[in-house]
Amino acid sequence: MNLWIAQILAVVRLEWRKTFFSKRGIWIYALALMPVVLFVGHSISALNHPGRDADFGEETNIFAGIFQVFYLRLCVFFGCVGIFMNLIRGEMLDRSLHFYFLAPIRRDVLMAGKFLAGLLAATVIFGLSTALQFIANYWYFDSQQLREFVVRGDAVHHFLAYIGVTILACVGYGSIFLAAGVLTRNPIIPAAVILVWEAINPFLPGFLQTVSVIYYLKSLCPVEVPPQLPPPFSLIAVNPDPASPIVAIPGLLLLSVVVVIWAGRKIRHLEINYSAE
Amino acid sequence: MNVPSIIFENVSKFYGDVLGVNRVNLAIPPGITSLVGPNGSGKTTLMNLMTGLIQPTRGRVRVLGLSPDEPEEFFREVGYCTQFDTFPKGFTGYQFVHSYLRLYGCPSKEAEALTWRAIERVGIVDAAHRKIAGYSKGMRQRIKLAQATCHSPSVLVLDEPLNGLDPLVRAETIALFKQFAQEGMHVIISSHILHEVDAISDQVILLSNGYVIAEGQIRGVREEIEEHPMQILIRCNKPGELAAKMFQQEHVVEARLHKDGGGLLIKTRKPDKFYLMLNKIALNGIGIESVAPADDDVNSLYEYLIGGEETSQ
């Protein structure tokens, strides 16, 4: 076990540099920055209209809508496509995966190390983005209102809940796209299939709803998306039968562990055939 | 005696409909073994099968009794310097070897010591902290070799390891391979530079179109090729007289004066009989300076067995 931990840490050390500083990953930073820019723009606009009432309830709903419909489903989703699919498939394209396969490390241990390295990167990038969005959204309120929101309101609870949901989104989507990187050559196909699957989630039978990431994430969000959102967003965001946190958190983690283990078994049979890439 | 070996048991590999290697049965002993054959003959496929980078469609490969399916034990015994000229991005030579050793679970200090030992052995200490992307082809070959040997494996698999090396480094590298073999290591080399293979190999495996067409010690393989009589060059003081005596022998099919006039090139179907006869001739007044086989090298084997398909480079 100690050897596995040492090996996993060695993989994480090797990977984090590649994941954080790869030129190929610049667009992931752009994805994470996009909603921050949106909220900063929103706050600047509010500051330029001093007569406008600052309404915490409205801002909270706006944040919930953008977080669920735009940030989780597009930014975090495609960010995870970029980070996690690159861990195996990117090395195939770079023709450097064989270095891992020629080391005395079990391939499932390698997968665990790669997953943790990807998770570290995704969590830092998108967790930080969530925090900045949250701050930017309420930035234009005056200090007295903000103090009230933090001390007596839901600020801390919401902040921690959104950070937690972001991390769980990285865990869930990360595990799926890591597995997809082992199974498929073209990231577009699994990304498109899973995007559609996640979008139709509210319309699926109860059991199938649980075989998705967004079902658990929606259930864990501290604020439901307001019904006044225009279709199709309101349809996508609706959560008729939310899971309780006691079910949602272990459920999502279990789903992710199963997917990573399954990918670990699949990678045992993966062959190095760069000419086919 | 049960000598640990590299065993291929009826191994076949197909890439879809394309044949990689077919029905390969081999037992490779310690020492330097060269895989020889034209491009596409299956050399790299055999090496990749040996190290688990690809899996056999049929059959089984064992290296020192281990399977690549057990990487934790297997890759402590095996090092593979592949033909792929690619590296993890942004790494220096030192980082490349060191990080690989950390995957073994080596503590940092121990990995550091092993890294420097491997880098010193291949002679690129000065460039160790430079990015690999700025290395010459020869330096890249050497850092790969350092990485493949940093953990002191018992089996070293080298796919075209001399490519890109200048003559001096080439000679040093060959000496290193010989040293490894003397230490009891299995060294498996694929190369298309036949005179170098000839100089370093204890045994050869000749491949053509995915089949093993000959294997064993070079001389032993040569003796089994009956359709090409053995060529022997005799340096002597009276080559004309020697030629006349040779023609009287039934097993001698050709005797030709050497172009410098100081020797005779014989072709015989029975080298054993020839050597016996030569002893008698030497006692009868012809001064023989040297006798040496002229075609029991890899080049000749290649030409006789594979020759028509692709000329050696």
Q: Which residue of A has its CA nearest to B150?
A: A103
Q: What is the pTM of this model?
A: 0.83
ipTM above 0.90, yes or no: no
Contact B26, B179 (CB under 8 A): no
Query: Structural domain tally of chain A?
Result: 1
**pLDDT for residue A232:** 66
For A80, the domain range is 2-276
**pLDDT for residue A84:** 93
Q: Where in chain B is the domain with CATH 3.40.50.300?
A: 6-222
Tell me what the mean pLDDT of segment B261-290 comes to.
78
Q: Within chain A, which residues score under 70 in pLDDT?
A: 1, 50-54, 227-240, 276-277
**pLDDT for residue B292:** 77
- Is B19's pLDDT higher than 70? yes
Q: B89 and A269 in contact by Cβ < 8 A? A: no
Q: B15 and A99 in contact by Cβ < 8 A? A: no
**Confidence class of residue B310 from pLDDT cuts 50, 70 and 90?**
very low
Q: How far is A223 from chain B (nearest CA, A)?
A: 43
Q: B86 and A96 in contact by Cβ < 8 A? A: yes
Q: A230: which DSSP letter?
A: P
Of A21, A101, A104, the CB nearest to B72: A104
- Is B148's pLDDT higher than 90? yes
Q: Where in chain B is the domain with CATH 3.30.70.920?
A: 229-294
**pLDDT for residue B286:** 77
**Confidence class of residue B244 from pLDDT cuts 50, 70 and 90?**
confident
CATH class, range B229-294: alpha beta
**pLDDT for residue A236:** 66
**pLDDT for residue B3:** 58
CATH class, range B6-222: alpha beta
Tell me what the mean pLDDT of segment B145-169 comes to.
89
* Alpha carbon distance B81, B160 (integer Å): 9
**Confidence class of residue B236 from pLDDT cuts 50, 70 and 90?**
confident
Of A22, A101, A106, the CB nearest to B53: A101
**pLDDT for residue B311:** 42
- Is B254's pLDDT higher than 90? no
**pLDDT for residue A155:** 87
Q: How far is B162 from chain A (nearest CA, A)?
A: 20
Tell me what the mean pLDDT of segment B279-304 comes to.
75
Of B54, B73, B102, the CB nearest to A273: B54
**B149, B97, B104: which is closest to A9 by C-alpha?**
B104
pLDDT tens-digit readout, B28-55? 999 999 998 888 889 999 999 999 999 9
CB count in 10 Å sphere of residue B131? 15
Describe the crossing of helices A245-267 and A155-183 by its angle, rounded to 10 degrees.
Answer: 20
**pLDDT for residue B167:** 79
Tell me what the mean pLDDT of segment B124-147 comes to.
93
**A237, A76, A56, A84: which is closest to A165 by C-alpha?**
A76
**pLDDT for residue B312:** 41
More confident residue, A223 or B58: B58
Q: Rounded mean pLDDT of chain B?
A: 86
**pLDDT for residue A98:** 94
**A146, A162, A174: which is closest to A223 by C-alpha?**
A162
